[in-house]
Structure 1
Amino acid sequence: MKCKSLILSVLSFILFGLSTQLLHGQDKAVQLFAHRGGAHEQDENTLSAFKASYEKGLRGFETDVRITKDGVYVISHDPSLERTNGSKGIVEQLTAAELRKVKTKKGNQFLFLDDLLEYLSDKPSIYVEFEMKTRPEDYPQEKLEPYCDQLYKKIMAKKPADALYVLTAFDKRPLKYLKSRYPEVELLYITSSSLSVEVIKETQELGIKRVGCRLGGTSRDLVRAAQKEGLIVSCWPGLSVDDFLLGVSLGCDYLCSDVPVEVFTWMKNKMPWVTIK
């Protein structure tokens, strides 16, 4: 009971602080986006996940892109099919035809990039992150460069006119390559660490303006410092409404969530003065 009371007290303090701050700043807006289409609410990275989240009001999404053995772009976070599909095999070692026969544990079809892009093509004012899953052992430089070229051209060809499509990666190689080839491309550098002076410097050295870092350990002062340097700050993971509230209190521009529908609904009902983009 003591632990529960402490949690409620902390949450009340956060809400009081946010309310005091945001009631005086009605233009506060945060981009909420659904991690893998809503990883803890939906069947992650399936077309049904993106459809369900969109129909519930979400306008921001994140997904993961790989290529098959025969060069077809598919949506999959893991290289292995075991966790999500209960099957043996590595995505990059299978053909498109083989993956078309694969279903998730919940019975959904394996998702291909073209199908996702087609679904999103008529959705106005959306934000989508396409994470490039380019481990060096799977994507040596001679494979990486055509992967980047074709992926960029594919997503831009189907992008709604007013949408914001961003290519992201932990791997700096595709970010550097795309920046050199397509100066206008929107890129985001993801790091598994919290925001720090070193992460800000790394992002600036890449010549890009977006950084995605861990929510835990990130401070408000560092978020402000990054923004002062012209960076746009995104934080993850978002496992709960509390995580989202923490991100808002830190002043983050973009917040990733595995429970985006829950967050969206809670914010709409409890904190309507915060605009969720």
Structure 2
Amino acid sequence: MTRVPHPRHPYLGHASPIPFAHRGGTADGLENTAAAFRRAAATGYRYFETDVHTTADGKLVAFHDPTLDRVTDSRGRIADLPWSEVGRARVAGKEPLPLFEDLLEEFPEARWNVDIKAEGALAPLVDLVRRTAAWDRVCVGSFSESRVSRAHRLAGPRLATSYGVRGVLGLRLRSLGIPAAVRVGAVCAQVPESQNGIKVVDRHFVREAHARGLQVHVWTVNDADRMAALLDLGVDGIMTDHLETLRTVLTDRGVWF
């Protein structure tokens, strides 16, 4: 098992493996709500994963889907609606959608892994991190490599970023001995254990990432045996919906923080 000896960004200044509360923990159906993040904090989590979209009037909302339809009692695309309407929606009919700025304020000790779900959210997120000086508290990711690259160019090395799909593919190819380009400047690779039936995370992948000074964070893992197997490979973080399960696995290994 290998580890990255000196994380290249203060965001990663935690003895790995890092437990991430994916969308705050979704087991109770209240994903990406302040209530979910409060529960995660009460359970002992300090690293939270969330997603951001912008409303028609430029408010940065912590929410996964482009529309309100799946998990709220309202309908419509967030990008097409003003905050006055989005703010009335209730997740599972109970909890409001939070503004990401409010989450940063309410949880001053938390560190946030933020998936930019739409192009329009990129500049507002970077502006918010700059305005609140939250450089050490936010890591930006996206499936779009170009989007996360633009975030890095806008903010510079103060902003922690992970790889998008193209960067992960390049890293995976290199781990198999196949020449491939990978973006300079990322601090971690955040990946599924497998994708479309193809293995992503194995010892070769973890070793290649660590050789480049990158941490490996795996999403979204809810089974205790899979968590244990990934930790045995040397991954540096696990994102989960099942907060108690991951806490138990890490506690049993003596690495819960």
TM-score (norm 1): 0.76
Following superposition, the deviation at residue 38 of structure 1 comes to: 0.6
Partners of 2:228 and 2:249 within 8 A in 1: no
2:205 paired residue number: 222
The one of 119, 123, 131 equivalent to 2:115 is 131
| Bigger CA radius of gyration | 1
**More displaced, 257-266 or 95-104?**
257-266
The one of 191, 197, 208 equivalent to 2:173 is 197
What are the residue-to-residue correspondences of 1:115-194 with 2, within 5 Å? 115-121=102-108, 123=109, 126-134=110-118, 139=119, 144=120, 147-158=121-132, 163-184=136-157, 185-191=159-165
Name structure 2 gaps, 5 residues minimum.
3-14
Following superposition, the deviation at residue 209 of structure 1 comes to: 2.9
Describe the shift of the 1:258–1:148 C-alpha distance in structure 2 as closer, same or farther (beyond 3 A): same
Cα deviation 1:19-58 (Å, max 9, x = unaligned):
xx9xxxxxx7300101101122451000000001101111
Query: Which amino acid is 1:212 matched to?
Result: Q
Partners of 2:89 and 2:96 within 8 A in 1: yes
Describe the shift of the 1:204–1:164 C-alpha distance in structure 2 as closer, same or farther (beyond 3 A): farther
Following superposition, the deviation at residue 223 of structure 1 comes to: 0.6
Structure 2 residue 256 is matched with structure 1 residue 276: yes
2:189 paired residue number: 211
**More displaced, 152-161 or 99-108?**
152-161
Distance (whole Å) between structure 1 residues aligned to residue 165 and residue 98 of structure 2: 26
1:9 paired residue number: none
SS in 2 for 1:196: helix
SS in 1 for 2:70: helix
TM-score (norm 2): 0.81
Describe the shift of the 1:108–1:251 C-alpha distance in structure 2 as closer, same or farther (beyond 3 A): same
Structure 2 residue 50 is matched with structure 1 residue 63: yes
Query: Which amino acid is 1:171 matched to?
Result: S
Describe the shift of the 1:241–1:155 C-alpha distance in structure 2 as closer, same or farther (beyond 3 A): farther
What are the residue-to-residue correspondences of 1:15-94 with 2, within 5 Å? 29-41=16-28, 43-94=30-81
Cα deviation 1:161-194 (Å, max 9, x = unaligned):
8x53101111122222122222221101243978
Cα deviation 1:67-109 (Å, max 9, x = unaligned):
0011111011011211110422111111100011111124011
Identity %: 23
Query: Which amino acid is 2:125 matched to?
Result: L
Following superposition, the deviation at residue 159 of structure 1 comes to: 5.5
SS in 1 for 2:208: helix
What are the residue-to-residue correspondences of 1:225-264 with 2, within 5 Å? 225-264=208-247
Partners of 2:113 and 2:139 within 8 A in 1: yes
Describe the shift of the 1:178–1:48 C-alpha distance in structure 2 as closer, same or farther (beyond 3 A): same
Name structure 1 gaps, 5 residues minimum.
1-17, 22-27
Distance (whole Å) between structure 1 residues aligned to residue 106 and residue 181 of structure 2: 32
Cα deviation 1:198-225 (Å, max 9, x = unaligned):
5897772354232111113221122112
**More displaced, 62-71 or 201-210?**
201-210
Partners of 1:117 and 1:155 within 8 A in 2: no
Distance (whole Å) between structure 1 residues aligned to residue 54 and residue 40 of structure 2: 25
Distance (whole Å) between structure 2 residues aligned to residue 156 and residue 240 of structure 1: 37
Query: Which amino acid is 2:114 matched to?
Result: F
Query: Which amino acid is 1:98 matched to?
Result: E
Partners of 1:34 and 1:260 within 8 A in 2: yes
RMSD: 2.8
Describe the shift of the 1:164–1:276 C-alpha distance in structure 2 as closer, same or farther (beyond 3 A): farther
Following superposition, the deviation at residue 261 of structure 1 comes to: 2.7
Higher helix share: 1
Following superposition, the deviation at residue 235 of structure 1 comes to: 1.0
